[in-house]
Amino acid sequence: MASISENMQSVCERVAAAARKYGRLPDEIGLLAVSKTWPAACVAEAAAAGQKAFGENYVQEGLAKITELAARRLEWHFIGPLQSNKTRAVAENFDWSHSIDRLKTAERLSEQRPGTLAPLQVCLQVNVSGETTKSGVDPADALPLARRIAALPRLTLRGLMVIPEPEDDFSRQRAAFRCARALFDELKKEGLALDTLSMGMSHDFEAAIAEGSTLVRVGTAIFGERNYK
């Protein structure tokens, strides 16, 4: 079995190859290592190989790793569904939150973000797969919601996040990401200062890069298959 640092290297090479293939600069595409279910020791191994940004889906699990690895000054992104009663822990401990799809959640995060920290960096989660998934705002409702979120004092709206339905066919993967990209461009044209398109996971990040992703969120290809207990 390949080590985490070997996996990291091969993911970085694949990101760079996809960037070149689709006329992008490798530097435009950030890598978020999704460490959910993996112990702090695995995060430390990826960090030792040069990885700075980590994504977590579960608040308590994320907090434990943030605390344990505090000395390493890593960047922590909350990417899981966020319940109202968990917003404070995210506001106080994470650097980013990608999964905002309701104004209420954004307002709570803004109110609860400590003044001693930089504003929480956030993405609006958009549902580009229609009926089949429940998370994410309908693209038709994204602009007014994005405007309200962008106006909140303790948040910085950075862009959009999408999790399309799993899809094996490359051109269908691209089609879902293309919807997100079109919306991203539209919101920028409307005057929102966005720079982050958070899209692409282990099985589809090449398609996401082809369609303009600026941040791929990769778990399995770095840490291995997850084992949910």
Ligand X SMILES: *Cc1c(COP(=O)(O)O)cnc(C)c1O
Which residues contact ligand X (rule: CB under 6 A)? Answer: 34, 36, 57, 79, 163, 201-203, 217-221
Nearer to ligand X, 79 or 160 (CB): 79
**Rounded-to-10 torsion of CA 176, 177, 179, 184:** 160
Nearer to ligand X, 38 or 154 (CB): 38
By beta carbon distance, the residue nearest ligand X is 219
SS3 of the chain: helix, strand, coil, percent, to 5: 45, 15, 35
Q: In angstroms, what is the minimal distance from the CB of 186 to ligand X?
A: 23
Nearer to ligand X, 108 or 217 (CB): 217
Closest CA to 156 of 96, 116, 212, 99: 96
β-bridge pairing 215-218 and 75-78? unpaired
- The answer to whether the CB of 46 falls within 8 A of the CB of 34 is no
Nearer to ligand X, 154 or 199 (CB): 199
- Chain position carrying tokens 């070149």: 20
The span from the CA of 166 to the CA of 168, in Å, is 7
Nearer to ligand X, 31 or 157 (CB): 31
The span from the CA of 81 to the CA of 105, in Å, is 11
Q: In angstroms, what is the minimal distance from the CB of 34 to ligand X?
A: 4
Q: In angstroms, what is the minimal distance from the CB of 172 to ligand X?
A: 17
Q: In angstroms, what is the minimal distance from the CB of 224 to ligand X?
A: 9
Q: In angstroms, what is the minimal distance from the CB of 159 to ligand X?
A: 14
